Amino acid sequence: MTARELHKQLPIWPYKQRIIDTVTGNRITVIIGETGSGKTTQIAQMLYEAGFASEGLIGVTQPRRVAALTVARRVAEEMNCEVGQEVGYRVRFEERTSRRTRIVYLTDGTLLREMLDDPELSAYSVIVLDEAHERSLNTDVLFGILKNLVKARKKPFKLILTSATLDSAKFSSYFDDCPVLNIPGRQYNVQIVHSEDNHENDYVAAAVDTALDIHLHQPPGDILVFLTGQAEIDKAVKQLGEAIAELPEGSCSDLLILPLYAAMPLELQARVFAPPPEGCRRLIVATNIAETSITVDGVVYVVDPGKVKQKTYTPATGMESLQVVPISRVQATQRAGRAGRVCDGKCYRLYTTGFFENEMSEATVPEIQRTNMLTAVLYLKGLPLDIDVLAFDYLDSPGSEALEDALRQLFILDALDRDGHISDLGKRMAALPLEPSLARSLVAAADHVCLPDALTVAAMLSAETIFSGNRGPVQLLRNETDARGKMGALSEQARATLAEMMAEGLGDHILMLRLFQGWERSGFSPKWCKDLGLDVRGMHFAREVRKQLADLLAHAGPKVLPEESVACAKTIASGTKDSREAKRKRPSAGVDDLRRALLVGFANRLARRMPRHNGYKTLNERATLAQLHPATARIAADEDGLMPEFVIYYALVATAKVFLNKVCPMESEWVEDVLPKLRNIDVERLSGGVTTRKAAKRAAIAGQVTETAAARDLPAGVPR
Ligand code: CDP
Ligand code: MG
């Protein structure tokens, strides 16, 4: 059967007419169906066939970039076209759409950014907010904005929310009592086996053992193992491979071991969608991505250690942590369900029933309640809707502390004026697909005429991996091998090159710049990267991002940049002068302008050295004590052996201790210019809406006590 015929057999297909009727008759529809029932791939096609795309695009958002790419590819295949024709995608730094495109898969972040230019989303006739159960930050923000747009837009507009499991009553009431369609899945029985111990620290080993045991003793059927991240997955895949190789020939059937995580190249990911060779069992070792957003067919056994890697941000301290935490009961149920899609299945939980019942929370805390709200607030402020972010209609509020923290930081970055309105600079920043600090640095760099270098730093910081095998420059210089033992030590010459770059003593950002420049001078040689322990793919990604950013700046032109920098962006985007420029610019060329631009962008993440001490204290509300991360690239000390008085940092992370991550030293006299901005921030006034709330309060008081109201009613322009 072709993909086109197969899709008609998905559980969602019999509901086609009901879906179309409901969407036709309502502005908002919620569709709930089990993972794998065909929501992501089929609904857009059904609507397209029913003519919903004749007046505008059908946009389907995905919280994950990789899901948008794979799904667009799949749907294009089902519709017999190339990606970029009738079906396309748009994600950060990459897009494939054309004039023919009718269905576009895009990340929720991309849709938010598109709204800044086109707040009515006039290009779209339908928006499907997919994977609503994931409650990603951007999807949550879109809930509130699109709910209002549905009512406000004159041109017809349909909003659809799709989800695996969901509190449908809560959703329906939030979305003006919209109808909820339930698509029953074809779920087979899944037998749940709890282990007798909780594998708190040895869950990777336990998962490996369990998977092997299933392979050796259970009837055919693919195995899906959930782990928390790339490093863990690579380790498990290696151990599994070794264990299988040690088994005597013919003692078990063939086993194909496949890793699956977001940072993996698409070609490799595609392997999990290809049918396995006859008589071969597949063992897929995946992150949470396989829990709901990607469905792998053929799975009969699930191994669930009950863990997930979760990012948490504490607004009071500005501290971030990435921790492995227990999943929620909803997630555990979701994972088990993955075993019952083709026949009766089994789920092996590497934790006790007691743990499931007493230690796991019912549902996961939505991202909006545990993340930095900076970017989201900048977008909300960037929309011409005069949104009071504190009083905004959130499905679940991020809380005033997180919002005030974001307002304060955006003010420090000059994105907001004292009354909390977005400034011209803020608009320029919001137009860039970068977090506000990097965006602010770029804009500042354009003014300082050091745009090429700032672009490099922004791109290098946007790449997930620069160094291969979990080693940083410090470990490389110390000649440490990587955790997996795959890569050996660097050659003497490579270490000398790295040492020379680090000798500059200006920390991580500048080292990133030097590495990129070195690679550029090598003619972007893959060998050069490998010799220095750099991840070739990561470096290429950075190069691509740099070009994309330059392209974007060149196109945005004077809206974002001063005239003279537009020309510079154009040159970089076209790639013509890159290498010549690199030759001209020796590594010793000054980077003071770049550092100053970084200071402006990271003024919200400044730290000051403690007197006569090498520890630092953050210069935010809750001055937090922190150390430079041991992996920080060399920073030169002064004659007294003391570290620079001021540094900017990329993140404040809490692991065993509190660390400043990715650091660049700053000259004290530059910081003097910035410091006043950090003091006396009037958050009440910044939050904008507070003034209206104050006015409302005043009006209420006025109604009760008239004479005092008269005294309060000062003429306009008099400071209160
Ligand atoms: O969104 P939902 O979880 O309801 O299902 P879906 O993602 O639309 O997947 C429907 C079917 O298409 C599943 O059987 C997937 O395995 C298959 N699919 C695929 O083979 N390749 C993809 N890239 C995406 C989905
Ligand atoms: Mg889906």
Question: Does ligand 1 come within 6 angstroms of the Cβ of 70?
Answer: yes
What's the average model confidence in pLDDT over 583-590?
A: 50
Question: Does ligand 1 come within 6 angstroms of the Cβ of 273?
Answer: yes
CA distances from 35 to 196, 363, 529 (A): 29, 17, 41
Tell how far the Cα of 308 is from the centroid of ligand 2, in angstroms: 19
Q: What is the DSSP secondary-structure string of 586-613? A: -TTS--HHHHHHHHHHTGGGEEEEPTTS
Residue reference for tokens 């974002």: 560
Query: Hey, which of 5, 9, 37, 41 would you mutate to test ligand 1's pocket, going by the most ligand atoms within 8 Å of its Cβ?
Result: 41
Measured from the Cα of 295, ligand 1's closest atom is: 16
Tell how far the Cα of 71 is from the centroid of ligand 2, in angstroms: 9
Residue 586: which pLDDT band, with cuts at 50, 70 and 90? very low
**What pLDDT, in 10s, does the model give residues 305-362?**
999 999 888 887 788 888 899 999 999 999 999 999 889 999 999 999 999 999 999 9
Task: Check residue 490 and give its pLDDT.
Answer: 85
Residue 165: which pLDDT band, with cuts at 50, 70 and 90? confident
Question: Which uninterrupted H or E stretch holds 333?
Answer: helix 329-337
Task: Check residue 327 and give its pLDDT.
Answer: 96
Q: Of 235, 366, 236, 230, whose CA–CA distance to 303 is shortest?
A: 236
Residue 224: which pLDDT band, with cuts at 50, 70 and 90? very high
Q: Of 199, 260, 195, 272, whose CA–CA distance to 226 is shortest?
A: 260
Question: Does ligand 1 come within 6 angstroms of the Cβ of 293?
Answer: no
Q: Is the pLDDT of residue 585 over 60?
A: no
Task: Check residue 273 and give its pLDDT.
Answer: 81
Quote the mean pLDDT of the chain: 88
Which tops the pLDDT comparison, 304 or 685?
304
Task: Check residue 648 and give its pLDDT.
Answer: 97
Which ligand is the nearest neighbour of the Cα of 133? 2
Q: Using CA positions, which residue lies closest to atom 13 of ligand 1?
A: 36
Tell how far the Cα of 96 is from the centroid of ligand 1, in angstroms: 21
What's the average model confidence in pLDDT over 38-44?
A: 95
Q: What does R_g of the chain's alpha carbons equal in angstroms? A: 27
Neighbouring-strand partners of residue 325: 308
Query: Hey, which of 2, 8, 45, 74 would you mutate to test ligand 1's pocket, going by the most ligand atoms within 8 Å of its Cβ?
Result: 74
C-alpha span between 296 and 496 (Å, rounded): 46
Look up the pTM and report it.
0.86
Q: Name which of 95-104, 260-269, 279-288, 702-711 the model is least confident about.
A: 702-711
Q: What is the DSSP secondary-structure string of 61-79? A: EESSHHHHHHHHHHHHHHT
**What pLDDT, in 10s, does the model give residues 93-137?**
889 999 999 999 999 999 999 999 999 999 999 999 999 999 999
**What pLDDT, in 10s, does the model give residues 548-583?**
899 888 887 777 777 777 878 888 888 765 544 544
Contact 57, 124 (CB under 8 A): yes
Q: Using CA positions, which residue lies closest to atom 8 of ligand 1?
A: 38
What does the buried/exposed string (b/e) look like for 145-154 if buried means 16 or more CB atoms within 10 Å of the residue's CB?
bbbebbeebe
Measured from the Cα of 33, ligand 1's closest atom is: 4
What's the average model confidence in pLDDT over 270-294?
A: 87
Q: What is the DSSP secondary-structure string of 270-299? A: HGGGSPPPTTEEEEEEE-GGGTTTS--TTE
Q: Is the pLDDT of residue 30 over 90?
A: yes
Query: Strands 190-194 and 57-62: what pairing?
Result: unpaired
Q: Using CA positions, which residue lies closest to atom 18 of ligand 1?
A: 295
User: How many residues does this entry show for the chain?
Assistant: 720
> What amino acid is encoded at 393 in this protein?
D
**What pLDDT, in 10s, does the model give residues 498-515?**
999 999 999 999 999 999
Beta strands in 115-213 (DSSP E): 124-129, 158-163, 180-183, 190-194
Q: Using CA positions, which residue lies closest to atom 14 of ligand 1?
A: 36
**What pLDDT, in 10s, does the model give residues 634-684?**
999 988 889 999 999 999 988 888 999 999 999 999 999 899 988 888 888
Question: Does ligand 1 come within 6 angstroms of the Cβ of 162?
Answer: no
C-alpha span between 660 and 84 (Å, rounded): 42
Q: Of 289, 319, 285, 317, whose CA–CA distance to 301 is shortest?
A: 285
Question: Does ligand 1 come within 6 angstroms of the Cβ of 295?
Answer: yes
Measured from the Cα of 296, ligand 1's closest atom is: 16
Question: Does ligand 1 come within 6 angstroms of the Cβ of 297?
Answer: yes
How large is the ipTM? Answer: 0.98
> What amino acid is encoded at 98 in this protein?
S
Number of H helices, E strands in the chain: 29, 21
DSSP reduced 3-state for 308: strand
Tell how far the Cα of 71 is from the centroid of ligand 1, in angstroms: 8
Contact 117, 383 (CB under 8 A): no
Measured from the Cα of 74, ligand 1's closest atom is: 23
Question: Does ligand 1 come within 6 angstroms of the Cβ of 601?
Answer: no
